[in-house]
Amino acid sequence: MSTDDHAGDEPASALSAASALSALNDDGLLAALREALGREEPPPGWAVDLAKGSYGLRAVDAELAALTSDSGLEAAQPLMRSGTAPRLAVFDAAGLSVEVEIEPGARDGSWRLIGQLFPAAPARIQVRQQRAEPVWVDADDMGRFSADHLTRGPLSLVCERDGTRAAVTEWITIG
CA dist list (Å): 31 to 16, 20, 28, 38, 49: 19, 13, 5, 10, 32
pLDDT at 9: 52
Report how far Cα 28 is from the mean position of its chain's Cα atoms. Answer: 41
CA dist list (Å): 13 to 7, 16, 21, 37: 11, 5, 12, 21
63-69-73-78 Cα dihedral, nearest 10 degrees: -150
Query: What percent of the chain stands above pLDDT 90?
Result: 47
pLDDT at 55: 63
| Nearest-angstrom CA–CA distance, 62 and 168 | 6
Pairing mode, strands 132-139 and 123-129? antiparallel
Domains annotated for the chain, with CATH where assigned, are 3-41 (no CATH), 58-174 (2.60.40.10)
DSSP letters of 24-35? --HHHHHHHHHH
pLDDT at 73: 82
Under the banding of pLDDT at 50, 70 and 90, the label for residue 1 is: very low
| Nearest-angstrom CA–CA distance, 137 and 125 | 5
Q: What is the mean pLDDT of the chain?
A: 83
* Collapsed DSSP state (helix, strand, coil) of residue 80: coil
DSSP code of 76? S
**pTM for the model:** 0.64
Q: What is the mean pLDDT of residues 103-132?
A: 93
CA dist list (Å): 83 to 79, 104, 108: 5, 11, 15
